[in-house]
Structures are given as structure tokens and as C-alpha cells.
């Protein structure tokens, strides 16, 4: 059907698009080639080869279509990134125009390019006032590698050579490069490849469902923040460079901290002069109903990692917003900063980001999530808590999660959980998948992060889909005698 030629000709593009519309893919053949040659990220290769991957061929708005012609509601925005939804022709046009004009030039050696300059200025405009500079990377992981090198450089330049330790949290996700995975707190990642690297330590996450027994959310918020101070004192304040955290933990399972958590973290960082890094790779660009999640969570970071939503995933791009406290030192005392990437400030990626941000502004997606669709999602998602399988359901902006439990209880901490080995989350995810709903499972917590362009009617459609999949999961589990 489509040519084997690797020349990206217009005909090839047109024919693939046509094939996608007409659904004339040979799924088995694609799966066979996929198994033969493509090692997927975070995947059990052998297991996938036996099952065969689902082949996605087309996207429009909040929907995807696979090679079998099945329409799927994408509750995860791709991978937390397609904030403006699929099929935005104006982004493809901006990318095409930039490729025709200047597909690439580097920003090393006293050189710059127009989209990178415009995007840096735009990011400064939409970010909190302490940010006036941007460092571009190709991904969120590289953004966090940049943070690690930048905060250590900052303290070196100020003469505090010992101040190199970065404190992060268990179950955090900060990417998959060596520094990213080390900053992250995923035990499955640390087990492979001798991570974390030295100089990175972790504290508990503010997970009320898991660790808040016997406390109000407020009490737990202070408790979870106090773990930071304990760790600072254990390591020695004179050795701690920075604390890093996601305003709301994403890949860890949409862990929404109590409202007083971040202000208390800020107070502790200020008390010891420690830099505060907000990893906003998910929370940035409207996800929580503000341009950046730290604004909603009530803290003022010195550095912000961004990626994903900056281009809505149309082209890879990431980076770090550098606050004045750090930028002033790097600029005034720094000399060469020996760090950067071939694709730092890639003109095509920056052109995609500029158009993406223009769409977010024009369609007022941030305001909509804050005042209209976000509150509506919150109300509708909360109704799922009445389902017999759901012990706890919460949301903020356009992220939400619910915990599947064997037996409900009035006090969430008294819910009876399933055994990990039963993999109930994966069973539930299977029903979602087969019914055309993408909802992710993190253990037995089911999570969503839909495109910000989702309408109120589409929220209704999604909630009904989720509810019916929960019903099917319940019947399945009853059949197994697990509930």
C-alpha cells in the first residue's frame, strides 16, 4: 500500500495519510516487523512480541484510530503531552515552513536562530516573574540532567564546592537518562544499571492514601514536608544543593499533595538556602489550570524543567527555565558553561512550540481548565468514587486518579487492597483498552491526563466509558472470586 522508499516525499506522506483514513493497514505484517526490529521503551520485549503491539495510525482532537479502524478516546494525551489535541494543521504548517526556511542550525559558537529567540522570550512572558532565561534541550530527561549540572555549577561558582547533593522523592519520575533516572525515585529503574549515581538522595512522597493513616490531609502535608528537613539535617545543610519535585507527581500515579505541602517545602528550602527545582514536564502548559503547576501549588521555584506540553508532543523539545537567582551567578561569574546539546534551541521544535502556545492562548485552554472543564471534570470524576471498586478518587486541573480496592471503607485508609500479584490495575486497563479508552494503571491506581481541548460533552463520554469498564472489571473480579 505505501511505498518502501525512505524518501520523505509528499506522495509518501499523502499515501500514508490516505491509508490511515481508509484503514488499509496490514496489522499483522506491521506487528511482525515491529517484533523483529523495534525495541520499545519500558517494555518486556519478549512479552510484547508474543502479544503484538497496537498500531496507532491517526489522531484527531482527543481521539486516536488504530490500524484495525478502532476509535480510541485518548485519556492520557499521548504520554501527558498532546495538550492541544491531535490534528492541529497550523502546527504542521509552522513546522513545514520552518523546515523549508532553516531546518537546523546549532546555537553553539555565538550563533542563534529566530524561533529559538522568540520562544525563549515567549516562555519568559508566560512564566512566573523570577524567570528571565531559558536553556533548551531535546527532552525532559535532558532538562533534568541540565538541572543537575547547573545547580552544582551554581554552588561551585559561589565557592561552596561541597554543596552537591540533590534531594528528590521516592516514586518520583524525572526521566530516563542516568541523571534523570537517578533523580527519579523509581525502584525498578534504580535496580538496572547501578542507580542512583552518588550525590542524590530520596525522601517519601506526599501520598495521603498510602501514608496518611490517622492524620488529616493538613497534618499529613506538614508531616511529608518535614521529611525534607530531616533529610537536610541528616546529609548536612552545607552539602545540599537543591530539592527537586513534580508539583503533582505524574508517572508515580497522579499523587496530589495536600495544599499546605509545597508552601512548607518552600519554607524549608528558604530556611537552609537550598535551591528549589520544579519538574513541570507534566504540570506545565496548562495541565493544572495555570501555565505552570507551581503557581497553583503556591511555591516559587528557582528552576523549572519543561518538555511534553511545550510542543504538545508534535516535535521533541525540552528545557529549563532558569530563575534570576541562578542565572545571575551563571552569567556574571560563570565563564563557559560546558553543557548543551546538538538540538538545544532546534528551530523546527521551537517553531512548533510557538504555534502550540499560540493555540493554547487563542483557545484560552489554561483558563478553561481553571474555571470550566477542570472543575467539571473534578465533579464528574468524583462520582466514580461511588463505584464498589473505587476506594479513593481525586483530581486537579486535567489530571485525575482513582484507587481500585477490594473492599471500600468510610475512612480511605481502612479500605482493603488487592494483592499486588493480582495486578488488578492491569486487568482494568485491559477492559479500558478493549473498549476504546486509554486510562493508565500505576499499580491499582487508574489515572488520566486528557487533552486540554476536551469539551464538557467529551468529559461526560469519557466518564461513562470509564464507569462501564469499571463494571466489566468488577464482573471479571467477581468471577475470579477476588471481591
Ligand X SMILES: *Cc1c(COP(=O)(O)O)cnc(C)c1O
- Residue whose entry in the numeric block shows the C-alpha cell 481525586: 394
Q: Which is nearer to ligand X, 140 or 425 (CB)?
A: 140
Q: Which is nearer to ligand X, 18 or 342 (CB)?
A: 342
Q: Which is nearer to ligand X, 155 or 173 (CB)?
A: 173
CA quadruple 180, 183, 185, 191: dihedral positive or negative?
Answer: positive
Q: Which region among 69-77, 150-158, 200-208, 243-251 touches ligand X (by CB under 6 A)?
A: 243-251
Asked if 251 interacts with ligand X (CB under 6 A), we say yes
Asked if 173 interacts with ligand X (CB under 6 A), we say yes
Angle between helices 373-382 and 456-480 (to 10 degrees): 20
User: Closest residue (Cβ) to ligand X?
Assistant: 140
Asked if 295 interacts with ligand X (CB under 6 A), we say no
Binding ligand X by CB under 6 A: which of 59, 85, 115, 175? 175
Asked if 293 interacts with ligand X (CB under 6 A), we say no
Rounded to a whole number of angstroms, the minimum distance from the CB of residue 184 to ligand X is: 8
Binding ligand X by CB under 6 A: which of 200, 256, 282, 400? 282
Rounded to a whole number of angstroms, the minimum distance from the CB of residue 447 to ligand X is: 12
Q: Which is nearer to ligand X, 229 or 279 (CB)?
A: 279
Q: Which region among 170-178, 193-201, 284-292, 320-328 touches ligand X (by CB under 6 A)?
A: 170-178
Strands 303-306 vs 440-442: parallel, antiparallel or unpaired = unpaired
**Nearest-CA neighbor of 197 among 165, 157, 171?**
165
Q: Which is nearer to ligand X, 163 or 290 (CB)?
A: 290
Asked if 258 interacts with ligand X (CB under 6 A), we say no
Q: State the SS3 of the chain.
A: CCCCCCCCCHHHHHHHHHHHHHCCCCHHHHHHHHHHHCCCCCCCHHHHHHHCCCCEEEEEECEEEECCCCEEEECCHHHHCCCCCECCHHHHHHHHHHHHHCCCCCCCCCCCCHHHHHHHHHHHHHCCCCEEEEEEECCHHHHHHHHHHHHHHHHHHCCCCCCCEEEEECCCCCCCCHHHHHHCCCHHHHCCCCCCCCCEEEECCCCHHHHCCCCCHHHHHHHHHHHHHHHHHHHCHHHEEEEEECCCECCCCCECCCCCHHHHHHHHHHHHCCEEEEECCCCCCCCCCCCCHHHHHCCCCCEEEECHHHCCCCCCCEEEEEEHHHHHHHHHHCCCCCCCCCCCCCHHHHHHHHHHHHHHHHCCHHHHHHHCHHHHHHHHHHHHHHCCCEEEEEEECCEEEEEECCECCCCHHHCECCCHHHCHHHHHHHHHHHCCEECEEECCEEEECCCCCCCHHHHHHHHHHHHHHHHHHHHHHHHHCCC
End-to-end CA distance of the chain: 49
Rounded to a whole number of angstroms, the minimum distance from the CB of residue 340 to ligand X is: 16
Q: Which region among 172-180, 198-206, 421-429, 432-440 touches ligand X (by CB under 6 A)?
A: 172-180
Rounded to a whole number of angstroms, the minimum distance from the CB of residue 173 to ligand X is: 5
Rounded to a whole number of angstroms, the minimum distance from the CB of residue 91 to ligand X is: 18
Asked if 318 interacts with ligand X (CB under 6 A), we say yes
Q: Which is nearer to ligand X, 282 or 296 (CB)?
A: 282
Please give the Cα distance from 34 to 40 (Å, whole number). 9
Q: Which is nearer to ligand X, 315 or 360 (CB)?
A: 315
Binding ligand X by CB under 6 A: which of 276, 296, 307, 462? 307
Rounded to a whole number of angstroms, the minimum distance from the CB of residue 417 to ligand X is: 26
Asked if 281 interacts with ligand X (CB under 6 A), we say yes
Binding ligand X by CB under 6 A: which of 75, 206, 250, 289? 250
Q: Which region among 83-91, 167-175, 294-302, 331-339 touches ligand X (by CB under 6 A)?
A: 167-175
Q: Which region among 51-59, 274-282, 333-341, 420-428 touches ligand X (by CB under 6 A)?
A: 274-282
Residue count at the site for ligand X (CB under 6 A)?
A: 16
Rounded to a whole number of angstroms, the minimum distance from the CB of residue 179 to ligand X is: 11
Q: Which region among 17-25, 55-63, 65-73, 137-145 touches ligand X (by CB under 6 A)?
A: 137-145
- Residue whose entry in the numeric block shows the C-alpha cell 545547580: 151
| Cell numbers placing 209 | 492514601
Asked if 246 interacts with ligand X (CB under 6 A), we say yes
Q: Which is nearer to ligand X, 69 or 193 (CB)?
A: 193
Site for ligand X in 138-157 (CB under 6 A): 139-141
Rounded to a whole number of angstroms, the minimum distance from the CB of residue 253 to ligand X is: 12
Q: Which is nearer to ligand X, 305 or 380 (CB)?
A: 305
For ligand X, the binding residues (CB under 6 A) are 80, 139-141, 173-175, 246, 250-251, 279, 281-282, 307-308, 318
Amino acid at each position: 500500500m505505501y511505498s518502501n522508499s525512505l524518501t520523505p516525499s509528499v506522495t509518501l506522506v499523502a499515501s500514508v495519510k490516505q491509508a490511515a483514513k481508509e484503514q488499509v493497514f496490514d496489522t499483522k505484517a506491521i506487528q511482525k516487523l515491529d517484533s523483529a526490529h523495534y525495541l520499545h521503551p519500558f517494555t518486556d520485549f519478549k512479552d510484547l512480541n508474543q502479544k503484538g503491539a497496537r498500531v496507532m495510525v491517526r489522531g484527531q482532537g482527543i481521539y486516536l484510530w488504530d490500524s484495525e479502524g478502532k476509535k480510541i478516546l485518548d485519556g492520557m494525551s499521548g504520554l501527558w503531552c498532546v495538550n492541544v489535541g491531535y490534528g492541529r494543521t497550523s502546527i504542521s504548517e509552522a513546522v513545514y515552513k520552518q523546515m523549508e526556511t532553516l531546518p537546523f542550525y546549532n546555537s553553539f559558537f555565538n550563533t542563534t536562530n529566530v524561533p529559538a529567540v522568540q520562544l525563549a522570550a515567549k516562555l519568559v512572558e508566560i512564566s512566573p516573574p523570577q524567570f528571565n532565561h531559558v536553556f533548551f534541550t531535546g527532552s525532559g530527561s535532558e532538562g533534568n540532567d541540565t538541572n543537575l549540572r547547573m545547580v552544582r555549577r551554581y554552588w561551585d561558582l559561589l565557592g561552596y564546592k561541597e554543596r552537591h547533593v540533590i534531594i528528590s522523592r521516592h516514586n518520583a519520575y524525572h526521566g530516563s537518562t542516568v541523571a534523570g533516572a537517578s533523580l527519579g525515585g523509581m525502584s525498578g529503574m534504580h535496580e538496572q544499571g547501578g542507580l542512583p549515581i552518588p550525590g542524590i538522595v530520596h525522601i517519601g512522597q506526599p501520598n495521603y492514601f498510602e501514608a496518611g493513616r490517622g492524620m488529616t490531609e493538613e497534618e499529613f502535608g506538614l508531616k511529608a514536608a518535614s521529611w525534607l528537613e530531616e533529610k537536610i539535617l541528616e546529609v548536612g545543610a552545607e552539602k545540599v544543593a537543591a530539592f527537586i519535585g513534580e508539583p503533582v507527581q505524574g508517572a508515580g500515579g497522579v499523587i496530589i499533595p495536600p495544599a499546605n505541602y509545597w508552601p512548607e517545602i518552600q519554607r524549608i528550602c528558604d530556611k537552609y538556602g537550598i535551591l528549589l527545582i520544579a519538574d513541570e514536564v507534566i504540570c506545565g502548559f496548562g495541565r493544572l489550570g495555570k501555565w505552570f503547576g507551581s503557581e497553583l501549588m503556591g511555591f516559587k521555584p528557582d528552576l523549572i524543567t519543561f518538555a511534553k506540553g511545550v510542543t504538545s508532543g508534535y516535535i521533541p523539545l525540552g528545557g529549563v527555565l532558569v530563575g534570576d537567582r541562578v542565572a545571575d551567578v551563571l552569567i556574571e561569574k560563570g565563564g563557559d558553561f560546558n553543557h548543551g546539546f546538538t538540538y538545544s534551541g532546534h528551530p523546527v521544535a521551537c517553531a512548533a512550540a510557538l504555534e502550540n502556545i499560540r493555540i493554547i492562548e487563542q483557545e484560552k485552554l489554561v483558563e478553561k481548565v481553571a474555571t470550566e472543564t477542570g472543575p467539571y471534570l473534578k465533579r464528574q470524576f468524583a462520582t466514580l468514587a461511588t463505584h464498589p471498586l473505587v476506594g479513593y478518587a481525586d483530581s486537579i486541573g486535567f489530571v485525575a486518579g482513582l484507587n481500585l480496592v477490594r473492599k471500600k471503607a468510610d475512612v480511605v485508609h481502612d479500605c482493603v487492597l488487592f494483592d499486588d500479584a493480582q495486578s488488578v490495575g492491569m486487568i482494568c486497563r485491559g477492559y479500558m483498552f478493549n473498549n476504546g479508552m486509554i486510562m493508565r494503571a500505576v499499580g491499582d491506581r487508574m489515572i488520566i491526563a486528557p487533552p486540554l481541548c476536551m469539551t464538557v460533552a467529551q468529559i461526560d463520554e469519557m466518564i461513562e466509558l470509564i464507569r462501564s469498564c469499571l463494571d466489566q472489571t468488577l464482573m471479571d473480579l467477581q468471577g475470579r472470586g477476588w471481591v
